[in-house]
Structure 1
Amino acid sequence: MKLSYEKMVLLTDNFSESNCIGNFQFGKLYYAKIVYPGITAYFMVKKWEVPENCDYDPGDNDLRLMDEMILLRHEMFINHPGMLKLYGFCFDRGLIGAVYEFKPFDSLFNLIPKESKLPSVVRYLHLGKSSYYQPFVLHNLDAAHVVLDEDYNPKLCDFGCTSGGIFLNKKTYSGHNSRSCYGCIDIALCSTGDWSIKQDVFAFGVILLSLISKRVYTDEDSEAGAPFVFEWAFTEYEEALESKSDVKETEFSLVHKSLAAEDDFCTVDGHKITTLALECVNRDEDERPTMKQVVKSLLKLEIVKQNADFIGVNKVLNSFENGI
């Protein structure tokens, strides 16, 4: 459905600051709604803008909108629980935007300092669904590109750099050489010009480190020259290695003390999830696990086993059997 500029203004209360969820790599996300007699319909709006922190060529955002419309309407994804449902789009009076049938709670990036099905979504994208389709590579997986509903179910909300899959001959946009997605992009791999699903694994590892340590990398950190989250994690590990020669046999953990203080926290889980995150950001991409292996490791955590019914582990296990 094509929406007018006026309709987008109405949905977001003229893109008010109070309705802004946050930034994504190429623009902003907004809470949106329409109030009808006796009922309120909730949406999420994505507004593409000229990015300040990455290279941009005129027309890049037009192509990103087009790619997203193709992707989210494709039979592989139209009913996938980890993908947003496209309601409409806007290409009017200079406004490039998309509207989703989704009631957002917040972005993962916003929730990290305050306080998972996400790896299953990435694993699905990495699966070659047939001999014809190659795996998708997101290229810009980031906590700011994951939104959650009120039940904390994650949805990927940006595909502006996605290649592979149904985009067989897609060329990388200038935004691929991005200076945003701070610390989530494997610079070493990007510098070679080669793209791999292991780059998404690296980005997921950074998100996992951020979640367990409650650390995010901000614009202020970038200006101050602060270490990326994965660099901080390696420093912590190396310092522990120097102080304890048998650190690999200890329960080394980067889990934040507030999380470790929870009644149902398991110390062994802290060590396991820290080790998994560090494996994901291994400097050698060949040593990183696949997303399928990541999901399997997460399913073995004690906290997951104890809350299997609540977090829908059986559904995830069924997805392994069905290749979803």
Structure 2
Amino acid sequence: MEAGGDIHHLLYNDLARFTDNFSESNYLCHFQFGKLYRGKIVHAESTLFVMVKIWEDSQIYCYKPGDNESRLMDEVILLRNPMVINHPNLVKLYGYCYEVGHLGVVYEFDPFDSVYNLIPKDDFTWVQRIRVSLRFASLLAFLHAVKSPPYKRLIVRNLDCAHIVLDKDYNPKLCDFGLVTGGMVPDRTIYKCHHVIGCYGYLDLATHYQDNTSEKQDVFAFGTILLSLISKRLYTEQDRQNLAPYVCQWAYGKFIEYEIDSSNTDSKKPKFSVVHPSLEADPYFDPSDGHKITALALECVGDEFAMRPTMKQVLRSLLDLKV
């Protein structure tokens, strides 16, 4: 393997060696355009734990030849930029593989698990879920403030629970930038891959068709992630095939039921919340937080995208929770 500055140019055989030939035991999860693996780079006197990301050709996401090559190079541009390189919630690039038929990157990161995998689990506590929400909101607020003329603000555009991976201390790391636009990368609305518009279950079509460059796309997706974290509910591939409602649609349905039920009774009902009962039993859970965080998430996924909060406002609301 050969180094180019601080970034290593890797062979596909290197990636296979790091992951024990992409073994099932090292498989972490799918992301929108491929797979994530745990790995390690063993030297004579030390071992570096890494995460390996492999791009795959896919018809599901309107793949066209050359798309993944563009995504790879844009990611390298982004993660080498001094404006973002030291952010604690972005993965740190170790190297990349650019071969015919084989594309991948390696991050200096020891992954514990993805948010997607952890959401249904009982040992993913209320405090840990709020910590993930808070730190990830902080990252998005930071990214939305990054500008690099002549480009617009930096927008991720394909946020997904599977694109957030945690370390053993439950610190979130964003690990996919396949549709990122603005900042220091070319404008995705006029660049290759513009035919891909986001992740199933997190995609706000209203914003996409009204304002394709609005950061409120990310706010919508964050609201969906927040709803998943507090309700322990995910939008799965099976849900997509069965045309099941998105998590945000499910939450709105519950809210409408609550409103109708409240109007038909004289008794004072608790304020609306979609927090899962097992999380309400957590010793650090406060009932007022359940209502506030549900209301915040529903504001993020509201139909009028101009009325959605900014990520800075979301961050302030999370900091006001009692937890």
1:174 matched to 2:181: no
C-alpha separation between the residues in 1 aligned to 2:159 and 2:102?
24
* Structure whose residues are more often helix by fraction: 1
- 8 Å contact from structure 1 (residues 9, 15) kept in 2: yes
**Matched residue pairs, number?**
302
C-alpha separation between the residues in 2 aligned to 1:183 and 1:169?
24
1:33-112 superposed matches below 5 A: 33-37=40-44, 39-112=46-119
C-alpha separation between the residues in 1 aligned to 2:76 and 2:185?
12
For 2:104, the aligned partner's letter is G
For 1:300, the aligned partner's letter is D
C-alpha separation between the residues in 1 aligned to 2:148 and 2:292?
33
Unmatched 5+ stretches in structure 2:
1-7, 125-131
C-alpha separation between the residues in 1 aligned to 2:14 and 2:262?
61
The aligned residue for residue 127 of structure 1 is: 145
Q: 1:248 to 1:71 in 2, by over 3 A?
A: farther
Q: 1:122 to 1:249 in 2, by over 3 A?
A: farther
C-alpha separation between the residues in 1 aligned to 2:120 and 2:50?
25
Unmatched 5+ stretches in structure 1:
304-324
C-alpha separation between the residues in 1 aligned to 2:280 and 2:37?
33
Displacement of 1:166 after TM fit? 1.2
C-alpha separation between the residues in 1 aligned to 2:169 and 2:42?
23
- Deviation readout 1:127-161 (Å, 9 max, x if unpaired): 14577553111110111111111111111101110
For 1:174, the aligned partner's letter is C
C-alpha separation between the residues in 2 aligned to 1:16 and 1:39?
22
The aligned residue for residue 279 of structure 1 is: 299
Select the residue among 244, 258, 261 that pairs with 2:262: 244
The aligned residue for residue 203 of structure 1 is: 221
C-alpha separation between the residues in 1 aligned to 2:57 and 2:147?
34
C-alpha separation between the residues in 2 aligned to 1:97 and 1:128?
26
- 8 Å contact from structure 1 (residues 31, 45) kept in 2: yes
The aligned residue for residue 247 of structure 2 is: 229
The aligned residue for residue 310 of structure 1 is: none
1:157 matched to 2:175: yes
- 8 Å contact from structure 2 (residues 54, 103) kept in 1: yes
Q: Secondary structure at the match of 2:10?
A: coil
Q: 1:172 to 1:213 in 2, by over 3 A?
A: farther
For 1:151, the aligned partner's letter is D
Select the residue among 276, 295, 307 that pairs with 1:256: 276
1:136-155 superposed matches below 5 A: 136-155=154-173
Q: 1:130 to 1:30 in 2, by over 3 A?
A: closer
1:187 matched to 2:205: yes
Q: Secondary structure at the match of 1:164?
A: coil
- 8 Å contact from structure 1 (residues 65, 97) kept in 2: yes
Q: 1:176 to 1:248 in 2, by over 3 A?
A: farther
The aligned residue for residue 129 of structure 2 is: none
Displacement of 1:190 after TM fit? 2.0
Q: Secondary structure at the match of 1:134?
A: coil
Displacement of 1:248 after TM fit? 11
- 8 Å contact from structure 1 (residues 184, 202) kept in 2: yes
Q: 1:130 to 1:39 in 2, by over 3 A?
A: closer
For 1:108, the aligned partner's letter is V
Displacement of 1:56 after TM fit? 1.3
For 2:114, the aligned partner's letter is S
Q: Secondary structure at the match of 2:75?
A: helix
Displacement of 1:4 after TM fit? 1.1
C-alpha separation between the residues in 2 aligned to 1:44 and 1:247?
53
Q: Percent identity?
A: 52
- What is the TM-score of this pair, normalised by structure 2? 0.88
Q: 1:6 to 1:168 in 2, by over 3 A?
A: closer
- 8 Å contact from structure 2 (residues 148, 184) kept in 1: no
For 2:193, the aligned partner's letter is S
For 1:283, the aligned partner's letter is D
For 2:285, the aligned partner's letter is F
Q: Secondary structure at the match of 2:154?
A: strand
Stretch moving more, 209-218 or 74-83: 74-83
C-alpha separation between the residues in 1 aligned to 2:240 and 2:116?
16
